[in-house]
Amino acid sequence: MFTLPPVVSKWQVEDLEKRLGEISLDLELSKTRVEYRGRTAYFTHGGVEYEVHLDTLPPAEGCEIYALIGGKWVELSISGDRFYKLCLFNRGWAPTLMIDGITMHSVLENPLNIARKKARGAWGRVFECCTGLGYTAIEAAKRGARQVVTVEIDINVLTLARYNPHSRELWSPKIDVVLGDCLAHARASRDQKFSYIVHDPPRLSHATQRLYSEALYREFYRILKRGGGLFHYVSLTGTKYRGLNPTRGVVERLKRAGFTIEERGEWGVYARK
């Protein structure tokens, strides 16, 4: 069983530097009692006792998030072919995932608020394409979905989700997290039917074209129950200056796949079978 270590952003670092008696060590989800002796803070988190010297705290600046692992504060980021990191833009919000400097959630409001909009019609069995940090899958389960099957192709994203306090409910009994390709998994779901589908792809690019393809939409239509709903997130990043209209293309392909368009919302398209 994975035990989440203490996780802080600049706001919790500031609280420790101020020697406050209660500090959040899970990004404001709860408070932990802290005692100070000289320049050392003592607390118990997740059943583990910690001693933290205040001079070793990470910097109280920027959007970065840090976890206390092996006695050291480690930035929650992964560097490889691409660069991934968790960032926090307001105290009390859930973190945002950034990939190669591009935010995967809006920085204008709490990502959890947007997740609620995406999952607003969730019921029965839910299929989600592109798990990310799991906020939408968690929200769908909270809204009463009997089961959520969520598919994520990038192991680095799920690794960071493991260390994100706001993602901890992603590994609940009601949610099945699948590492793999969304189109392949949908095609393999020959005898499964879902009541609601959430499609939450990154913004449209050459690398993500298949996540906006009619072939995928036809698989969504096939695995969706009659009367079931679909929410398709559409990022409008860059559309104002590049003259792009990805929503129009999404709507046209969804219609060709058989869907009836019910609403073009601020964050995407709602459709029904």
Sheet holding 77-79, edge to edge: 77-79, 83-87, 96-99, 102-103
Over residues 228-245, the mean pLDDT reads: 72
- Using CA atoms, how far residue 198 sits from 60, 93, 268, in Å, is 36, 22, 11
Q: Which long-range contacts (CB under 8 A, 24 or more apart) does 50-55 make?
A: 50/6, 52/16, 54/16, 54/17
Q: Is residue 144 part of a domain?
A: yes
Report whether pLDDT(129) > 80.
yes
Prediction pTM value: 0.93
The rounded percent of the chain whose pLDDT value lies above 70 is 96
Tell me which residue range forms the domain holding 27: 7-75
Burial group, residue 2, by CB count within 10 angstroms (0-12, 13-18, 19+): exposed
User: What is the per-residue pLDDT for 241?
Assistant: 39
Q: What is the mean pLDDT of residues 245-250?
A: 88
Is 80 within the bounds of a domain?
no
Residue 104 within any structural domain of the chain = no
What does the pLDDT read at residue 1?
60
CB 148 within 8 A of CB 176: yes
Of residues 106 and 238, the one with the higher pLDDT is 106
Same domain, 147 and 267: yes
With a cut of 60, say whether residue 249 has pLDDT above it: yes
Q: For 195-229, give one letter per residue: b (16+ CB within 10 A) or e.
A: bbbbbbbbbbeeeeeebbeeebbbbbbebbeeebb
Q: Which of 27, 55, 75 is the last residue of a domain?
A: 75
**CATH for 246:** 3.40.50.150
How many other β-carbons are positioned within 10 Å of the β-carbon of residue 135? 29
> Does residue 147 sit within a domain?
yes
Q: Take residue 8 and report the two structure tokens written for it.
A: 């802080």
Domain boundary among 26, 49, 75: 75
The span from the CA of 265 to the CA of 270, in Å, is 7
Residue 240 has pLDDT above 80, yes or no: no
Q: What's the CA gap between 268 and 199, in Å, rounded?
A: 10
Of the three residues 55, 75, 95, the one that is the final residue of a domain is 75
Closest CA to 257 of 209, 208, 224: 224
- 126 with 248, same domain? yes
Q: Do 56 and 144 fall within a single domain?
A: no
Number of domains within the chain: 2
